[in-house]
Amino acid sequence: MNTDADMVLEIKDLHVSFFTDKGEIPAVGGVDLKIPKGRIVGLVGESGCGKSITARSVMGLLKYPGRIVSGSILMDGRDLTRLREKELRKICGKDVSMIFQEPMTSLNPVMKVGRQVREALLRHDESAGGEQAKERVIKMFEEAGIPEARKRYDCYPHELSGGLRQRVMIAMAMICRPRLLIADEPTTALDVTIEAQILRLMKQLCRDYEMSVLLITHNLGVVAEICDYVYVMYAGKIMEEAPVFELFDHTCHPYTKGLLSSIPRIGKNPEYLHTIPGVVPNLLHLPRGCAFSSRCALADGRCRDQVPGMAFAGEDHLSRCFFSQSDKGIAYE
């Protein structure tokens, strides 16, 4: 990983819980994550593992009854968790932007898409008024690969295809030239052809603007295509982290191995698809030791009684597993 001076965002020991009538649900349990300048970082895991909650914590979008219990989210030396809502709103949308999972539910159905993107621009740049703002939006539409950009400016969301709506969302997120783009499952609802186009577009924009990207996904194929560094998350904790090629070539954690084995491959028996046995533990009743122990073939008594810390499994490669520690020892708890 790069030095701290190169970091656009750094999350340290983040804990997020939801306080319900049944008890406290620890949705994020001590996440450490770094995003360097100009790099694409992947955050991977099953649904419900805490990926989106981590992203929403950065943006200040946690909804009741959820709240940040402890930890810090640092950007330019400022802890975003300690800012007032008004101060955070100045940063979110300008320095940090987010693309949400489903553009049809994120866009206002009764407002033309051009006007929606224009509003995002004017919120953070009051000098861009009138015709100038419209031209900047149209130019951003063109950069986002939207054909007939001037005509699309006056379209409603339902008049656009899923791929074009997602490009509008990218344009909205990019209109203020953010330093960090958080993309939460940006290709989930798209077919594979459009997905490939969107991924190429994100990679191109990252290069053109030296922008950093946090890509949240459950698709390891997408990670292999676009990311530089990867964090694997399970039950609110980071289980493994490494540069993308290191992760795929020298997978250490049993959970990561299970995810990779679950990917369909050409030439394998089509009637057999590997699955990870068991289910994700109830966050209200997490096991005493490793959260993955009930699903892991390697688990022993130590795994069921003790929570493993992150340990070196190789150079710039960390794993939260007793069976993947190298002679370099534990990196941090």
Residue-wise pLDDT tens digits, 136-165: 999 999 988 899 999 999 999 999 988 899
Contact 121, 128 (CB under 8 A): yes
Contact 234, 305 (CB under 8 A): no
| Single pTM value for the model | 0.89
Domain boundary among 177, 210, 232: 177
The whole-angstrom distance between residue 122's C-alpha and the CA centroid of its chain comes to: 26
Residue-wise pLDDT tens digits, 232-256: 999 999 999 999 999 999 999 999 9
Single-letter residue type at 69: V
Domain boundary among 137, 157, 177: 177
Query: CB neighbours of 289 closer than 8 A, spacing ≥ 6?
Result: 302, 303, 304, 305, 306, 307, 308
My answer on whether 80 and 106 are in the same domain is no
Q: Best-predicted range by mean pLDDT among 3-7, 10-14, 85-89, 159-163?
A: 10-14
Rg (CA), the chain: 21
Site of tokens 């003790």: 306
Q: Residue 122: which domain range?
A: 102-177
> What backbone phi and psi angles, to 5 degrees, belong to 239?
-100, -30
| CATH number of the domain within which 225 lies | 3.40.50.300
Domain boundary among 177, 212, 228: 177
Indicate the number of domains in the chain.
2
Structure tokens at 164: 């074009």
Residues in the chain, overall count: 333
Q: Angle between the 130-143 and 113-124 helix axes, to the nearest 10 degrees?
A: 110
Would the pLDDT of 328 be above 50?
no
